[in-house]
Amino acid sequence: MERKASAVWLGGLKEGKGAVSTASGVLSEAPYSFLTRFEQRVGTNPEELLAAAHASCFAMALSFELGKVGITPRKLEAAATVTIDMVQDQFVITKSHIDLVAHIPHAEKMAFEAAVRAAQVGCPVSKLFKAEITVSAKLVS
């Protein structure tokens, strides 16, 4: 299985601008720039896209892990925060943290926590990062 996306960049780093698109069409020439990446302007950036990928991958991986022990979640709300830091004069993605609220009536807490741990390391996007991966999970009945 392969998934594709593309990006175009025009100009220098600070004054330039780009657009990112996905083969599915979900993103079509979504703008990104130095300002959207480092100064919180409107538009996307690579770290935001990685956060979206990590949150969605983790939620699916957790659903899979829960299903292996006979638990079906009503709703999993995963929000990822990707951190980029300056390390030895280079920008490095140093961590991705997931905040999770899991709505699972009558779930057994130990089984839930084991599934969270398995999803944390088993999510394919987690495996892609060379960064610290953490999860704060809250189980709601």
Closest C-alpha to 116, from 141, 95, 137, 101: 137
pLDDT digits over 28-77, tens only?
999 999 999 999 898 999 999 999 999 999 999 999 999 999 999 999 99
Domains of the chain: residue spans and CATH: 5-38 (no CATH), 46-140 (3.30.300.20)
Tell me, what's the pLDDT at 120?
A: 95
User: How many angstroms separate the CA atoms of 17 and 15, rounded?
Assistant: 7
Tell me, what's the pLDDT at 33?
A: 95
Is residue 32 within 8 Å of 20, Cβ to Cβ? yes
Tell me, what's the pLDDT at 130?
A: 84
Please, what is the average pLDDT of the chain?
A: 94
Tell me, what's the pLDDT at 113?
A: 96
pTM value surpassing 0.75: yes
Tell me, what's the pLDDT at 78?
A: 98
